[in-house]
Amino acid sequence: MRSLMIGLALACAAGAASAESITLPAFAPALGKDIVYRVETETTVSIVDKGTKTARGDFHNTLNVSERLADGFRGRWRVDPQPPAQGTFESNDLYRQTIGVYGLTEVEIDINARGQPVRLNDGGAIKRHMEDTIRRTFGTSPVPPGTVLDTMLKKIAADPMFPVRALVPAINLTTTMQSGKPRDFEIGKVNTTTNVPGAFGDTAAASSSWSLASVDRAAHTATFTWNDEADPNAVADRAKKYIDGEVAAARLQHGTLSAVQLLELTSASTTRKGVARVSLDDGVTVYAEETVSTRLGPMRNDTTVRVTREP
């Protein structure tokens, strides 16, 4: 949804005139050549009086575009969950589990002119593998509501491309600022949209701003930035059960709560900040990073995903 939102904003900005502007070329990857992305993740969860825990991931996603179609391209994404030799990477184990659920380490897909997946060409392999997993796990019984498999099945039913994005986390960031056709941008102009529906999934409307922040003509790259903020009241409403529970627990432990304590326990927010560098030669993303920060009362969750194109 966020990529669609930014794409619409890009279209609106296409005709903007400026004394200092650039033309971003259309996404035009070389056919038959691997585009290798190193994907680094870091998730930190902090809960007041309970400590902080951080999990990291470091793996690779590789795109090879095989042919140009009438309205996009056909390509194959390969995934490699193997972490670097040094360090601890807890999220790589979770990534392996995701790959295991779908049963594939590469997927052929049709992508639109910006590089976003529009059709999965797996011959039903993911569906068959998930059905086998369900039979092995639950036999002839239905999948219990609320389980991981139940959640995944519902997400796939709502969005057939969900398995592709789950297998290839690089897709969301690499396609955010790629363009389906050449577009002119004013350098430094901030574009803002309010009441954006679905910017944070099911959370209510958010505000969003983005900008072509700078151009490195020596490196032939354009740097985009974006900043999204969900309606804090909507975030609090969705987390009401959790927040009410934390308030009740604090009252049992401390008795009467001060206004400051109550504010600390009931505040809620979700923000997203990102940056992407896109090549001025072929319109392909060479670097992108995004941090999503969520606060629900005493709990804070910060997740950063960094995607770097390797030589």
- pLDDT of 3 > 70? The answer is no
Between 125-138 and 148-158, two packed helices, what is the crossing angle to 10 degrees?
Answer: 150
Q: Return the residue matching tokens 């059905």.
A: 131
| Sign (positive or negative) of CA dihedral 138, 144, 149, 150 | positive
Structure tokens belonging to residue 96: 């392996």
Provide the 8-state DSSP code for 203. Answer: B
Whole-angstrom distance, CA of residue 242 vs CA of residue 120: 37
Structure tokens belonging to residue 190: 């901030």
6's enclosing H/E stretch is helix 2-12
Q: How many CA atoms lie within 13 Å of 3's alpha carbon, on the beta-carbon side? A: 17
pLDDT digits (tens, 9 = 90+) for 279-294: 999 999 999 999 999 9
Residues 6+ apart with CB under 8 A from 77: 61, 62, 63, 106, 107, 109, 164, 167, 168, 171
The residue that leads in pLDDT, 68 or 87, is: 68
- In the chain, domain spans: 2-309
Provide the 8-state DSSP code for 142. Answer: P
- Assign domain 2-309 one CATH number from 1.20.120, 1.10.287, 1.10.260, 2.30.230: 2.30.230
166's enclosing H/E stretch is helix 162-167
Looking at 13-27, 57-71, 265-279, which range is the least confident one?
13-27
pLDDT digits (tens, 9 = 90+) for 254-273: 888 888 888 889 999 999 99
What predicted TM-score, i.e. pTM, was given to this entire model? 0.87
